[in-house]
Amino acid sequence: MRARREFRDRRDVEVAVLDALVDRAGDGMTVFEVRAAVDADIDEIEDALAALKRDGLISVENGDDDRVVILVADRVVPDPEEARDEEQGLVDALRDRLGL
């Protein structure tokens, strides 16, 4: 699943982090899991996480097993109906295809 449309006008690495976190919205992800899911170097990911946290789009909490996990804000997660309607619309497909 992808982050809501209004949060997709950020840097590519920030959008990739949000998308990865939306896929695991209930459980959150560790930094290592985010790193494995996002194709960017660790410095870019750290910058993205800092920007997303500053903007209130993610939070960092201790998980059940004392792991530090990153959670996406509820407002970033699309409604399942909305997500289905938006999934690979024509414009999004063209953007992805052209690398925009």
| pLDDT at residue 88 in the model | 57
Domain hosting residue 11, numbered range: 5-98
pLDDT > 90 fraction of the chain, expressed in percent and rounded: 60
What is the total count of domains within the chain?
A: 1
DSSP letter string over 4-73? Answer: -GGG-SS-HHHHHHHHHHHHTTTT-B-HHHHHHHS-S-HHHHHHHHHHHHHTTSEEEEE-TTS-EEEEE-
Asked whether the predicted pLDDT for residue 70 surpasses 90, the reply is yes
Cα–Cα distance for residue pair 77/70, rounded to 1 Å: 14
With 0-12 CB in 10 A as exposed, 13-18 as middle and 19+ as buried, what is 68? exposed
46: CATH: 1.10.10.10
Confirm if 44 and 13 have CB atoms less than 8 A apart: yes
> What pTM, to 2 d.p., does this model score?
0.78
Mean pLDDT rounded to a whole number for the chain: 87
pLDDT band at 80 (very low <50, low <70, confident <90, very high): confident
Asked whether the predicted pLDDT for residue 81 surpasses 70, the reply is no
Over residues 14-57, the pLDDT tens digits come to 999 999 999 998 889 999 999 999 999 999 999 999 999 999 99
